[in-house]
Amino acid sequence: MKAAILEKINSPLTVGDVALTELSFGQVLVKVLVSGICGAQLQEIAGNKNNAKYIPHLLGHEGCGLVEDVGVGVTKVKKGDKVVMHWRKGDGIESDFPTYIFKGKTMRSGKITTFSEYSIVSENRITSVPQDISNEFCALLGCGMSTALGVVENEADLKIGESVMVVGLGGLGANLINAASIRRAYPIIGVDIHDNKKEICESLKGHLFINCKKESIKDVLNEKFGVKNVDIIIDTSGNKKSIEETIPLLSGSGRYILIGQLAPGESVELSNAEHLFNGEGKVIKATQGGKFSPSVDIPRYVKLYKAGILKIDNIITHRMKLDQINDAIDLVRKGQAGRIIINI
């Protein structure tokens, strides 16, 4: 079968042939229909996830697929089920690491991967959904959308009417604007360095877009809303400069959530750090997937989708094929895309 393989750190993926091995206890074979691309894969390609020792290996951690076969012990899904492929652990067995054959050698992979025609996954990394929900929505539930909803709900504990700023409007950032809107935040401010993100921000009901390369965030906020601070700031960029510029904008009970990962060894300086003690005690925290709990949260999100409340319109900016995966990754790297869907 065809798969995209990371053979060398900081290099394009190889789209080549990989053979499947027999399923072991708790493993499921999934025919992958669509996959998203997440910033985490850029970090893996750069070797920033302590992953250099595992190459060659497979990538991808949000997808939608159909169950093709199940290994011994699997009870959660059966052949033909449509499933969300997610990296956070849900119910079910935590299997051994799946293996494949690549260039005549055994290749170990993560417990969830999605950049391939078929994928062997651990039972606890998939969750069944109704057949009639869209494949793209199903894929976004694997990471981007679920992380965004989890960050807003679990990490930020957003109250109706609180202000939210999202820094970095890639796929996750677009999902965060959407999540803040569903949760009735006001105002919702999107920040990016590319003007084409203004349209994405506004279409997802963000109230203000600021190009932080051209304008001072602080000055625009003051001019447009007469406000000096923001209740919840979520950074997806991992950019030192924008983190340093926005931390001082936190309100007295503000929560600053870091999603984007700084480059290894990089530091952030907190200038005038005494402002952190103004008010009720501000919070700066890093999140792992917004504490998204697949078995509990996916059924709730499917219900909202079926009711027309949760939408994916305007979040997906590109649809590409597995053969074009390196072009797709370049678009994510350049910050020019919202979510990109790979049709496998």
List of residues contacting Zn ion (CB under 5 A): 38, 40, 143
Annotate 225-294 with DSSP letters as a single string.
Answer: H--S-EEEEEE-S--HHHHHHHGGGEEEEEEEEE-SPPPTT-----TTGGGGGSTT--EEEE-SGGG--H
Taking CB atoms, the residue at the shortest distance from Zn ion is 38
Least gap, CB of 143 to Zn ion (angstroms): 3
**C-alpha separations of 207 from 106, 181, 187, 190, 210 in Å:** 51, 10, 6, 8, 10
For the bound state, the minimum distance from the C-beta of residue 48 to Zn ion, rounded and expressed in Å, comes to 14
User: 61 or 282, CB closer to Zn ion?
Assistant: 61
User: Considering beta carbons, is residue 38 or 298 the nearer one to Zn ion?
Assistant: 38
Q: Which is nearer to Zn ion, 146 or 251 (CB)?
A: 146
333 burial level (CB within 10 Å; 0-12, 13-18, 19+)? middle
In the complex with Zn ion, the residue whose CB is nearer, 40 or 210, is 40
Give the CA angle between residues 209, 185, 35 to the nearest 5°: 70
DSSP state of 11: S
Taking the complex as a whole, the smallest distance from the CB of residue 115 to Zn ion amounts, in Å, to 13
Check residue 218 and report its DSSP letter. Answer: H
User: Smallest distance, Å, CB 147 to Zn ion?
Assistant: 6
| Nearer to Zn ion among residue 61 and residue 82 (C-beta) | 61
When the beta carbons of 49 and 205 are compared against Zn ion, the nearer one is 49
Minimum Å gap between C-beta 19 and Zn ion is: 27
Distance CA 340, CA 319 (A): 6
d(CA 133, CA 217): 39
Q: In sequence order, what E strands does the chain have?
A: 2-6, 14-17, 19-20, 27-36, 57-58, 62-70, 82-86, 99-102, 105-108, 118-122, 126-129, 164-167, 188-192, 208-211, 230-235, 250-258, 283-286, 316-321, 339-343
Contacts of 183 (CB under 8 A, 6+ apart): 152, 153, 158, 160
CB of 32 to Zn ion, least distance (A): 16
Query: What is the spatial distance between Cα 85 and Cα 260, in angstroms, rounded to a whole number?
Result: 22
Nearest-approach distance from CB 135 to Zn ion, in angstroms: 17
Indicate the DSSP class of residue 140: H
Task: Tell the smallest beta-carbon distance from residue 45 to Zn ion (Å).
Answer: 14
Omega within 30 of 0 (cis) for the link into 130: no
Nearer to Zn ion, 36 or 56 (CB): 36
Nearer to Zn ion, 38 or 121 (CB): 38
